[in-house]
């Protein structure tokens, strides 16, 4: 989503896990992760992505949406 418009999106070349690992390699230790799909649907949608990031990185994750 770009500027609150669900019809516009930014697509990254890396998977969420690869991007998170890159953040860690750059010294980032906290991540604010927003489930925009959940915000739109009213319930958590991307829990598997959160679980993967939490299981495979050392990031402290703040997860919101829905």
Residue 2 lies in a domain: no
Residue 6 lies in a domain: no
Residue 46 lies in a domain: yes
Residue 7 lies in a domain: no
> Using one digit for the tens of pLDDT, what is the confidence trace for 12-51?
899 999 999 999 999 999 999 999 888 888 899 999 999 9
Residues in the chain: 66
Q: Please report the pLDDT score of residue 32 as a whole number.
A: 95
CA-wise closest residue to 65 among 30, 34, 41: 34
Residue 58 lies in a domain: yes
Could you give the CA distance from residue 23 to residue 36 in angstroms, rounded to a whole number? Answer: 20
Task: Domain count for the chain, please give it.
Answer: 1
Domain of residue 33, residue span: 16-64
């Amino acid at each position: 989503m770009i500027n609150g418009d669900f019809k516009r999106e930014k697509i990254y070349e890396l998977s969420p896990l690869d991007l998170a690992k890159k953040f860690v390699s750059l010294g980032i230790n906290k991540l604010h992760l927003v489930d925009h799909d959940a915000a739109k649907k009213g319930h958590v949608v991307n829990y598997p992505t959160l679980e993967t990031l939490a299981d495979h990185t050392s990031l402290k994750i703040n997860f919101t949406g829905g």
